[in-house]
Structure 1
Amino acid sequence: MKPIYVFFTALAFGASAFAHGNATGAVLERMEGMKSIQAAMKLLGKQAGTNDAFDFSAVNAAATDIMHHANEIPAVFAEKDLSMPTEAKAEIWEEMDAFNKLAAALESAAQIAANAQNADELKSAMGAIGETCKACHSQYRIKN
């Protein structure tokens, strides 16, 4: 796997992989959605690293999962819930329009990935997905 995809996979898994602890309600729902996106990114990262065994069906399913969760982001963040172990910053609710635009950008980037026919097309789409994740996390996620 290329270093850039290793980076995005590591970014996706980050500290949140073990942080769900005692989460409940909206916080748990948000964390579970992000965990699903992380798993999909891991699969996409593996597929982006190969042309020999490119599995369109698996790529399409993973990217569609990201699209689904990206579409749900505005709804699962509608309720301001900062109870621990949340990783969400209060700025989300102060800048909801900008936050929702990033969710829409993630959904659009995932749509491109869902239509990738080979690893090169997927690599390009993953770059856009990764940049969107990075932009959102740098602004709206508490660093652990």
Structure 2
Amino acid sequence: MIQQLLVSGMTVNTTVRNLAHTAKVLPLFALQKQYPGHLNLFEADLLVDGAFDTPMRDCIIDHHVASPFLLPEKIKDGRREMLEPALRGTRNVLSSVDKTPSVSRVVMTSTVGAIFGDYSDVLHMKNETLSERLFQHQQHT
């Protein structure tokens, strides 16, 4: 998504949990080199109030595309570990939107959890990419 926005000529402010996790952030660093001056990286914790105020400054559109996610076997209390952080994170992002007069549009996407319920859904996939095709298949079976 970030690459598509950059290709279309937009300047993108994006957040990551930890800029020091180089392996996870490496693709973003590569995009920064490819689109100099058009990709700004910020460290922000979705669960910290105000964490998105600075990254959102002067933005026109906010794309909220992330939510806390754990693999099913790691979840002990779904409400506490998944639902509450997702709600709090969304509220934090929307609070920053409210403080940013330049934002005129908010785009919210779903989570991978909408198409990936458990491992049985993807156990025999030939391709490792989760896409709409899997979601459509689940609706019709």
Q: How high is the TM-score relative to the length of structure 1? A: 0.32
Structure having greater relative contact order (Cα 8 Å, sep ≥ 6):
1
Instruction: Please identify which structure carries the higher helix content.
Output: 1
Q: How high is the TM-score relative to the length of structure 2? A: 0.32
Q: Highest Rg: 1 or 2?
A: 2
